Structure 1
Amino acid sequence: MKWVIHQLAKYRENGMTLDEFVVLENVEKRNHDVRNISPVHVKGHCTFGAAQMTCHLQLSGTLILPCARTWEDVEYPFEIETVEVFNWSETALALASAQTNDNFHIVEGDVIHVDPVLEELVLLEIPMQVYKEGADQFKHEGGNGWSYTTDEDLNDLQEDDQPKLDPRLAELAKYFDQTDE
């Protein structure tokens, strides 16, 4: 989505209502964990000041992410509500340094590019790990040259594998049991 500032003048009185789907393909390029992203539904309302646009946005969509245990696809729906401010005044740089929030964006030129802002909002919503339903029951025995073992299985194996004494060294073990007399 992008808007030319001069064309937005017609919305100055009543504001601009948004209800459209946006394809954010750069999300997959910027975060390689994202396998796919559905078109993002953007709804909201933008109001205008002398050299500023304030947008109250609601974003919704679905990300396809890998399961942390099985590496299978997991659908992760997201809902984001935000207020974004776009400023194109001469004093925008001074305002930006005074602003402490990340929702303030300086517009350079005559076009407001909204897609990078939407991409950032979606990227911030991506969790560190997602799990597919039933992934806690996942049991994989292994593959070529590797195996999968849980901590519980490893403890059981270690208890079963008590060190056994080689019969040829039994006499040597008795030597260390003797005390000096």
Structure 2
Amino acid sequence: MPKLVLPTRAIQVINKSIHLFHHFGFHTVGVDRIVKECQIPKATFYNYFHSKERFIEICLIVQKERLKEKVVSIAEYGQDTSAADKLKALYLLHTDLDGLYYLLFKAIFEIKLSYSKAYQVAIKYRTWLINEIYSQLIKLKTDATFQDAKLFLYMIEGAIIQHLSSDGEDQRERVLDCFLINYGCKYLSQNV
């Protein structure tokens, strides 16, 4: 995919809209609200983005690239960090409801039928993430499989759903510890 090059003002609209989509959803935030909140003419919006579908796709691409940078930073540049600690960092990054992954996760449920190209951005990110998770799992256990990496991703997404439906008690690290114990790792969190 060619590099996305947008004017500064368009980036500001994207950033504001990512916040709106994150907090209010893709279907409740329409173009009228976006242009009002961003204080731009509707014609300027359509000049930059052409349609709401293309705009959502661009927002998800921007969010995906920001998230990929963080994942690569965790996975590649922490040479003194163990694979278990990297997995913990990836898990906590992705289960943070205020974090970058939440918008992509939300997109999976909200836009599959109405904005299929934008939906594919989220699905492709999940596939990429499974590969990154697998590259860390294989360092912990030589017989790790892609199914294990998928299970780790499902655990991330289950933790998000649990956190959304809980009464505020955060169980994310306990679930992670149970998973990593099966990989021969010790408890990682202090508050078990």
Does the TM-score normalized on the shorter chain lie above 0.5? no
Which structure is higher in helix share?
A: 2
Larger radius of gyration: 1
Which structure is higher in strand share?
A: 1
